[in-house]
Chains A and B, each alone.
Chain A
Amino acid sequence: MPARRIIPCLDVKDGRVVKGIQFRNHRDVGDIVESAMRYREEGADELVFYDISASAEGRSLDPEWVRRIARVIDIPFAVAGGVRTRDQAAACLDSGADKVSINSPALERPALIEELARDFGSQCVVLGVDSFEADGDYWVKQYTGSPDATRDTGRRTLDWAKEATERGAGEIVLNCMRRDGVRTGYDLAHTRAVVETASVPVIASGGAGALEHFRDAFVDAGASGALAATVFHDRLIAIPDLKEYLGTCGIEMRR
């Protein structure tokens, strides 16, 4: 495995970085380019930018802010938000994004995954999964960017992870919704189950609140990367300290 990745996630709304608790009550936390630069300087290995309202509003993310980010940073970044056609994905990649993450549109029309993988390669196609625990299992939710639009898909998370990777998704960002923003740790058992189901890298998401949570995501759950927002935006955890700590735990980190 390459060095495990520390991935700040920046939720974007109207070209600004925002953050909510369990996908609600968004507050403005900063300018998109300033945030990108700050995390790059601190040693983030990758960034993810989600236009959180695009999908629910039936539009694709704006390549204009993708270009603004691409111009200033020299680390990889993925973008997400309402990409539902090949041409919309091409616009993101041509604007300088390294990967396009798709979520609700892939649930609407799973063949989209194959179309993107065929033209751009699996390494450009990330599957975002919003997984919700209920009735002793984990289920995929759709349109989570807006509380009113959020709906159940009736798909089991593990089935969807398997199907999507067979169709050509090259990475899975597994967001465990009950953990989002609450800082009690990643859902390790569920993340481990997805890691064992999919042959592609899995990024743990939802719940990071302490240094140990990142160690657990890598050591116990086997995640390739750990994504977090609140702890980085609110400066509760500094990335250099986090990497130092994980290094002392014997986890390979890029320095």
Chain B
Amino acid sequence: MDLVIVDVGCGNIGSVGIAFERFGLSPVISGDPETIAAADKVILPGVGAAGYAMEEIVKRGLAGTLRGLTQPVLGICLGMQMLFEHSEEEGTDCLGIIPGRVRKLSPAPGMPVPHMGWSSLQVRDDRIGLRTGDYVYFAHSFAVDAGPATVASADYGREIPAAVRARNFLGAQFHPERSGEAGARFLESFLNA
């Protein structure tokens, strides 16, 4: 399988690549629009700030390419947030592939921000390899609004979409590559899609 990880110039490319190597794959890291468009499957990673990551995407001429992809695409963490319309983080316009906005989490007593650690899931879609009650690892200060695309969620003062799905696009707010056995099942379901 020809798996391409989009090079957005920063972030968890290292650990995402290693996670797929565990499945015997050799993902290619690329910022080249043609290579990305020709891939069987595409991973949009991202740790970092939305403004910086979106700037890198635009600078590399990738926004149109990413919007036009028809093969299975997986956005992870910030990579998932970028699939939506707009992020409150630095007032950033994102790719607009999935309707909805990204908002900052508000800290409350007993609920510090970032939301960091293992939270249990409510799962609404049995095709994503996850089950209700699975614990997965989160590390984020911003989250998308729950909506029709939400297929798994965690509770953190408000409903936090943990996985989203729209057409060929799948997103994970959590870090599947750092979520033990549950994370591996999620990645496997994407690879088998």
Q: A170-B114, A222-B110 are in contact. Are A121 and B137 (CB under 8 A)?
A: no
A199 touches B107 (CB 8 A): yes
Cα–Cα distance between A118 and B112 once the two chains are bound (Å): 19
Flag the segment in A70-78, A128-136, A143-151, A207-215 that touches B.
A70-78
B21 CB, nearest partner CB in chain A, Å: 8
A36 CB, nearest partner CB in chain B, Å: 13
Q: Which residues of A contact B137 (CB under 8 A)?
A: 75-76
Contact with A along B9-53 (1 / 0, CB 8 A): 011111100110110000000000000000000000001110010
* Nearest neighbor of A203 in chain B, beta-carbon distance: B116
Task: List A166-190 residues whose CB lies under 8 Å from chain B.
Answer: 170-171
Interface residue count for A (Cβ, 8 Å)?
A: 40
Q: List 30 A-B contacts (CB under 8 A).
A: A1-B117, A3-B117, A3-B118, A45-B118, A70-B18, A71-B21, A74-B19, A74-B22, A74-B181, A75-B137, A76-B139, A93-B10, A93-B11, A94-B13, A95-B14, A96-B18, A98-B15, A98-B175, A118-B49, A119-B52, A120-B49, A121-B48, A124-B139, A170-B139, A199-B112, A199-B113, A200-B114, A201-B112, A201-B116, A224-B112
Contact of A120 among B11, B154, B179, B183 (CB under 8 A): B11
A74 touches B113 (CB 8 A): no
Contact with B along A1-18 (1 / 0, CB 8 A): 111110000000000000
Cα–Cα distance between A214 and B78 once the two chains are bound (Å): 33
A residues contacting B by CB (< 8 A) are: 1-5, 45-46, 67, 70-71, 74-76, 90, 93-96, 98-99, 117-124, 170-171, 198-202, 222, 224-225, 254-255
A96 touches B14 (CB 8 A): yes
* Nearest neighbor of B141 in chain A, beta-carbon distance: A122
Whether a CB of chain A sits under 8 angstroms from the CB of B71 is no
Q: Which residues of B contact A122 (CB under 8 A)?
A: 114, 141
What are the 4 closest A-B residue pairs judged by CB atoms, nearest first? A2-B117, A199-B107, A96-B14, A123-B139
Q: Which residues of A contact B114 (CB under 8 A)?
A: 122-123, 170-171, 200-201
Cα–Cα distance between A122 and B48 once the two chains are bound (Å): 8
B15 touches A70 (CB 8 A): yes
Cα–Cα distance between A121 and B181 once the two chains are bound (Å): 26
Whether a CB of chain A sits under 8 angstroms from the CB of B180 is yes
Whether a CB of chain A sits under 8 angstroms from the CB of B84 is no
A211 CB, nearest partner CB in chain B, Å: 20
Whether a CB of chain A sits under 8 angstroms from the CB of B131 is no
Q: What number of A-B contacts does a CB cutoff of 8 Å give?
A: 121
Cα–Cα distance between A254 and B181 once the two chains are bound (Å): 12
Looking at chain A's contact residues, the main secondary structure is loop
B47 touches A121 (CB 8 A): yes
Cα–Cα distance between A4 and B120 once the two chains are bound (Å): 12
Q: Which residues of B contact A117 (CB under 8 A)?
A: 49
Cα–Cα distance between A70 and B178 once the two chains are bound (Å): 10
Task: List B107-144 residues whose CB lies under 8 Å from chain A.
Answer: 107, 110-120, 135, 137-141
B1 CB, nearest partner CB in chain A, Å: 20
B138 touches A2 (CB 8 A): yes
B112 touches A225 (CB 8 A): no
A110 CB, nearest partner CB in chain B, Å: 19
Cα–Cα distance between A198 and B116 once the two chains are bound (Å): 14
B131 CB, nearest partner CB in chain A, Å: 13
Task: List B40-85 residues whose CB lies under 8 Å from chain A.
Answer: 47-49, 52, 78
Q: A119-B48, A119-B52, A121-B78 are in contact. Are A201 and B180 (CB under 8 A)?
A: no
Cα–Cα distance between A225 and B114 once the two chains are bound (Å): 14
B183 touches A74 (CB 8 A): yes
Contact of A200 among B113, B178, B183 (CB under 8 A): B113
Task: List B137-183 residues whose CB lies under 8 Å from chain A.
Answer: 137-141, 154, 156, 175, 177-181, 183
* Nearest neighbor of B156 in chain A, beta-carbon distance: A2
Q: Which residues of A contact B110 (CB under 8 A)?
A: 1, 222
Contact of B49 among A3, A98, A121, A222 (CB under 8 A): A121
Cα–Cα distance between A3 and B139 once the two chains are bound (Å): 13
Central interface residue in B21, B154, B175, B184, by most chain A CB within 10 Å: B175
